[in-house]
Chain A
Amino acid sequence: MQQKIRDIAKALLLKKELDLIIGFGEGSLPLRATPIFVRTPEEADQLVWNSFCENNLATYLSKFSQLRVGLVVKGCDGRSVTALHLEKRFRNHPVFRIGVACQRMVDRRKVRKAVKGEILAAYEQGDRILVRGKDFEVSLNRGDFLYPSCRVCTRRTPSPVDVLIGDRVEEIPLIETHPEVAAFETMSPEERWRFFERETSRCIRCYACREACPMCYCRECFVDNSHPKWIEKGLAPSDLQFYHIVRAFHQAGRCSGCGACERACPMEIRLTYLTQRLNRDVKELFGFEAGIVPDAPPPLSTFDTEDKQEFIK
């Protein structure tokens, strides 16, 4: 798989069909892959593909709108590209999608918590992950360490793509509903608010969730507006809650459910229970899923005269 990505990237750059290919490279830490920007055929050999390619690479597209960009996409990244395309983000050049059928990504934090001591190296061997530290070596079952958003994923094969690497995979979720959404829903409103309050209270307003999200491309985010000033700077609990409500709500009908926001959070704040639920609401209310149908208008920018309105007096 990895070799095929390299070969295709090399060929595309040699033919000068593309100026830039964004893909994954070896991370500087174990259990990590890092986004890399390949401009020459030689650099294409740095491309890798493994279970740690967790970022959503569509995030970088807005920075290269003048170039002909090739993007290594998983199912969710591909959906984000489609969603961005729908919002007319690619006026100059369409994005060339090098699709890779995703094997579901591994939650590095969960791996780190499963072993004692610092991890110095990690390898993948089939469905095992070999983790080595100073005085230990453990083999872990890959399936136990997948991201929740990956476990519920039913769109692992990106579509549409310009090239597909690897075979299409069977689109069945490992679990039906997102475990955190399910757990959250069983709580009473008080408990739910308390949970939300507790999670957001850790927020340090670094905006990593916003930066990691391909759909958060506004030139000026509502948090940075000074006129009107929607929220204060600082860490007042109410402002943190406000930020998280609006950040999530702005993804309604646009989120591909990749979970990049949560993966980026340095404080490990749970975020996907918000966006995953919004995705479900949008699907129930408007029959829409982000990034599936290339020309269906975004649900909140359109309407149907027959939309439900039993909640309106």
Chain B
Amino acid sequence: MDNNWEPKILAFLCNWCSYAGADLAGTSRVQYPPNIRVVRVPCSGRINPLFILKALQSGIDGVLVSGCHPGDCHYLSGNYVARRKSAALKRFLEYLGIEEGRVQFSWVSAAEGLKFSQVVQEVTEDVKKLGPPKRLVKRK
């Protein structure tokens, strides 16, 4: 593997907490790796497992899903439903042999700019260790 390889990480951030958290990280001038590409979604409950799989298939190196802390959802229960979906999906992907750490989940509130930068750092490091994905990727 090329030492200079930098992973591309797709981050699905919920509009009300994690996206605002990322925004806060930016306005507070907190540094975090530039590896993430953000997709803003209305709620973590909006994230269809198909989004994650499609991202992996398209050659994304890692996926981060982030929403509001339990109890803080703007739509009251979206993140609880997301939590169930994510739990089942994560287990299933690992069962199939997709590396643990390729798809990660976090709760980041609008006030947690610092936590957001830490999460992105951790995810980037994890994915860097895994290297470029070989499974499920569509070769052109």
Contacts and interface: CB of A to CB of B under 8 A. Distances in A.
Nearest to A188: B97
Contact of A281 (B77, B91, B106, B139): B91
Contacts of A311: 86-87, 90, 105
Contacts of B84: 285-286, 299-300, 302-303, 307
B50 A192 contact: no
A307 B88 contact: no
Interface in B63-94: 70-71, 77, 80-81, 83-94
Contacts of A126: none
B88 A242 contact: no
Contacts of B119: 313
Interface in B97-125: 97-99, 104-107, 119, 122
Interface residues of A, number: 45
Given A277-B95, A309-B70, A238 B57 contact: yes
Q: Tell me the interface secondary structure of chain A in the complex.
A: helix
A303 B83 contact: yes
Given A238-B136, A305-B71, A191 B80 contact: no
B96 A192 contact: yes
Interface residues of B, number: 38
B46 interface: no
Contact of B50 (A189, A230, A308): A230
B40 interface: no
Nearest to B58: A238
Interface in A160-192: 184-185, 189-192
Given A246-B53, A299-B84, A305 B70 contact: yes
A312 B97 contact: no
Interface of B: 49-50, 53-54, 57, 70-71, 77, 80-81, 83-99, 104-107, 119, 122, 135-139
Interface of A: 184-185, 189-197, 222, 230-231, 236, 238-239, 241-242, 245-246, 248-249, 252-253, 274, 277-278, 281-282, 285-286, 299-305, 307-309, 311-313
16 contacts: A189-B94, A189-B99, A196-B96, A245-B53, A245-B93, A245-B96, A246-B49, A277-B95, A286-B84, A299-B84, A300-B88, A303-B83, A303-B84, A308-B87, A309-B70, A313-B104
